[in-house]
Amino acid sequence: MAGWIAANPQIFVVALQNHLWLSGIALVAVLLIALPLGLVLTRQRGLANAAIAIVNILRTVPSLALLVIMLPLLGTGFLPSVVALTLYGLPALLLNTYTGLTQVDADIVEAARGQGFSDRQVMMKIEIPLALPVIFAGIRTAAVQIVSAATLAAFIGGGGLGELITAGMANFNFPQLVAGAVAVAALALVVEVGFAAVERLLTRQLRMGAA
């Protein structure tokens, strides 16, 4: 594996960069969609059940199936891969955002309103800070899911480390195959450990602030 990477550094670096771009853009898209939508659903409980039902359906669809569904809609390449990965990572963060916000102690919210806080102030100063650990856990889960699923983007021409795996399988080049597989596993592990560390730090700071 190390020998193949040393002999083909450019191929490996390009595949890694594409994988990071795929994952990063999809995660940003998930953040931009799930966080505001989660906030809206806490204020529109009538829509929440329908939205959560749709999200739960998305959770049951395999990542490869989402990628394949993109073929007749958007064709092949980077864009359909990003769209599919966004849909794949969306449920974890949306559900955690909604759950975290709705589980904030109602007495605390009522006390804040009694002190004259507006709805926006309650959201920004009470609900979001208290729900932040749960929300960040959703971000971590979505990030790991996206990094892992981005491997399959190679099947629809999205690039990434999955290309090393598919090329290695097609050419019986096992060092290349292993290089791609180990790189994906290592990247997912780094994302998991990194986000978990930030989550612990964030939770500790919030507890210290509350104390």
Q: Scanning the structure block, which residue is given the tokens 């599919």? A: 84
Q: How many residues in total does the chain contain?
A: 211
**Is the distance from CB of 145 to CB of 23 less than 8 angstroms?**
no
18 pLDDT band (50/70/90 cuts)? very high
Q: How many CB atoms lie within 10 A of CB 46?
A: 7
Q: Is the pLDDT of residue 207 over 70?
A: no
The average pLDDT across 21-35 equals 94
- What percent of the chain has a predicted confidence (pLDDT) above 90? 30
Under 8 Å between Cβ of 80 and 67: yes
Angstrom distance (rounded) from CA 4 to CA 174: 10
**pLDDT beyond 50 at 210:** no
Mean pLDDT confidence for 187-195: 92
Mean pLDDT confidence for 181-188: 92
Q: Kindly report which listed range (20-24, 85-89, 119-123) carries the lowest average pLDDT score.
A: 119-123
- CA 154 – CA 159 distance, rounded (Å): 5
pLDDT-derived band at 107 (thresholds 50, 70, 90) equals: confident
Question: pLDDT at position 183, please?
Answer: 92
pLDDT at residue 206 in the model: 65
Nearest to 180 by CA among 48, 6, 27, 16: 16
Flag whether pLDDT at 197 surpasses 80.
yes
Average pLDDT of the chain to the nearest whole number: 86
First CA to last CA across the chain, in angstroms?
50
> Closest by alpha carbon to 148, among 164, 135, 161?
161
Low-confidence winner among 30-34, 50-54, 191-195 (lowest mean pLDDT): 50-54
Rounded to an integer, what distance in angstroms lies between the CA atom of residue 66 and that of residue 134? 26
Contacts of 68 by beta carbon, 8 Å cutoff, 6+ apart: 155, 156
Res 21 pLDDT > 90:
yes
pTM exceeding the 0.95 threshold for the entire prediction: no
- DSSP letter, residue 44: -
DSSP per-residue codes, 64-132: HHHHHHHHHHH-SSHHHHHHHHHHHHHHHHHHHHHHHHHTS-HHHHHHHHHTT--HHHHIIIIIHHHHH
Residue 208's nearest CA partner among 129, 136, 111, 107 is: 129
Percent of the chain having pLDDT more than 70?
97
Contact indicator for 34, 94 with CB cutoff of 8 Å: yes
